[in-house]
Structure formats: structure tokens, C-alpha cells
Amino acid sequence: MQTQQIIDHIVSWLKDYAQKAGVKGYVIGVSGGVDSGVVSTLCAMTGLKTLVLEMPIRQQKDQISRAQEQIDFLKNNFSNVDGFSVDLNAPFEALHDIFDVRDDEFPNEKLAFANTRSRLRMLTLYYYGQINGLLVCGTGNKVEDFGIGFYTKYGDGGVDISPIADLYKTEVYEIARVLDLPESIKNAIPTDGLWDVDRTDEQQIGATYPELEKIQKEYGTKTAEDYEGRDKEVFLIFDRMHKAAQHKINPIPVCDIPEEWRD
């Protein structure tokens, strides 16, 4: 991979897009993970105003410390960066009290609350983006956004621009190494940080990102019958999640009304 060329291309693309849109720069939510670490650094490299926000909600301590380390890294290296923490625990707990229902009657409640965390962060990013004249910059990669749909619709999927959505996770890690991000960010184990229990992305999905990338690159040209063993297991995971995520991957369906009915 021509990593430096890709870095330069994304930075130029981000700068051009902001200038054409007539905005001052970007706001990014940082979680302490490699995706947000890379995206926030690429935005900072544009020289445009870059606002990075940590938004803890019942967060694990190591996630909070890594997010703050990324903010400090950016502020120490780029004069155009500002960043701070917006504690969302109180508003989330208020929503939790309002929304709370019996788990035995509504088995999807925990998932709904996990997605509520992500959507509360989206609301926060758009608030700070609007008052500062900034666009919300997404941090999703190719596997999550277009492979298995491993993100929250109108949560971390609610963004204005998505600079690394055509990069696989392993490629994002390579960029992180070239950018020389803090060691804790470069080596961070992927997690969405949306659950009270500490579960990694790969534990939730049931496959590693390299395994998923292999299937995604071949998807559409091979079927389950073309695989065996672990590859077949991962294909079935990818195929199930990809099909279930079509409402995220495809544009919102619009019911077309025949023109002759408008007369």
C-alpha cells in the first residue's frame, strides 16, 4: 500500500471539500480507537480548524485515557486543533430513566440503549459543529460501513463526510503507524464502547477484521460452497450481517409517485 500517497490524498480531499462547502473545518468524536485517531489526525493535517471531542457515557477507564491521550497528542502537534471532553453520562442516565422498560418483555432493550449512546454522541457533534461552522467527520472504515454494517444508523453513521470509508481496518492501522500516533492508539483493540460490559468488536462479530476483509474482497464472486473450515464460518457471518445491513448501506428508499397522478 502506498501509505503516504493515500495520506496526502485524504488530507487534500478533506481540505478541498471544506473549502467548497464554505466551512471552517471539522469536528470529530475521538474514542481512543485507531479509526478516530487516524481521522482526527488527518483532519488536523489540513490546517483547518479541527475540534476533537471525547464523549464518555459509562465508559471504561482505559478508553477515556486513550481518548484524552489522542486529544493531547493533537493539541501538542497542531496549532489548529482544539479538544475537550463532553460528559454525556447525565443526559444518558436521564434518557435511560425515561425509556427504561422490562427486559423480559423487550429483549432488544440493551441494544436500543447501546444505539442511544451513539445517537446522543451524534447529536453532540452536530451541536458543536453548527455553533463552530464545522462539518461532522465520520470515522467508519470499509468493513464496518459497507461490509457488515457494524455501526449505528444516525449514530456514528450520522456524519457529513467519511474520509476512511474506502480503507480496510488493516490499512487504517498501517496509516496509524506512518502517522506515528501514540502507541496506545496504534495498538488499540477495536471496541464500539457502547455496552456496560467490555466487549471487543471481534467478540461481538465473531470474526477478526483480517478474516472479514478476506471475505469482503471476494464477496459476490464466491458462495458458501467455495469455502471450507474457518473461511466458511466467516463467510456465513459476513453474508448474514451484510444482508441485514442493507437498510444502512443503501440510500433511504423513496416511494416514487407517477407524474400523471399529480394532474
The C-alpha cell 465520520 sits at 138
Q: What's the confidence (pLDDT) of residue 200? A: 83
Q: What's the confidence (pLDDT) of residue 104? A: 86
Cα separation, 175 vs 164, whole angstroms? 10
Q: What's the confidence (pLDDT) of residue 18? A: 98
Q: How confident is the model at residue 206 (pLDDT cuts 50, 70, 90)?
A: very high
Report yes or no on 113 lying in a domain: yes
pLDDT tens per residue, range 62-113: 777 889 999 999 999 999 999 999 999 999 999 999 998 988 899 999 999 9
pTM (predicted TM-score): 0.91
- Span 150-174, average pLDDT: 96
Q: At what angle do helices 209-218 and 229-244 cross, to 10 degrees?
A: 80
Q: Which domain holds residue 100?
A: 3-198
Task: Report whether pLDDT(20) > 90.
Answer: yes
Rounded to the nearest angstrom, the gap between the alpha carbon of residue 207 and the centroid of all alpha carbons in its chain is 18
Q: How many Å is the Cα radius of gyration of the chain?
A: 19
- CATH number of domain containing 141: 3.40.50.620
Task: Report whether pLDDT(192) > 70.
Answer: no
Task: Report whether pLDDT(258) > 90.
Answer: yes
Q: Are 235 and 228 in contact, with CB atoms under 8 Å apart?
A: no
Report yes or no on 257 lying in a domain: no
Report yes or no on 42 lying in a domain: yes
Task: Report whether pLDDT(60) > 90.
Answer: no
What whole-number percentage of the chain has pLDDT above 90?
85
- Span 162-187, average pLDDT: 95
Q: How confident is the model at residue 59 (pLDDT cuts 50, 70, 90)?
A: confident
Cα separation, 179 vs 134, whole angstroms? 24
Q: How confident is the model at residue 196 (pLDDT cuts 50, 70, 90)?
A: low
Residues 122-150 as b/e (b if ≥16 CB within 10 A, e otherwise) read: bebbbebbeeeebbbbbbbbbbbbbbbbb
Mean pLDDT value across the chain: 93
Report yes or no on 76 lying in a domain: yes
Task: Report whether pLDDT(227) > 70.
Answer: yes
Report yes or no on 255 lying in a domain: no
The C-alpha cell 423487550 sits at 106
Q: What's the confidence (pLDDT) of residue 197? A: 64
Report yes or no on 211 lying in a domain: no
Report yes or no on 133 lying in a domain: yes
The number of domains in the chain is 1
Task: Report whether pLDDT(254) > 80.
Answer: yes
Report yes or no on 190 lying in a domain: yes
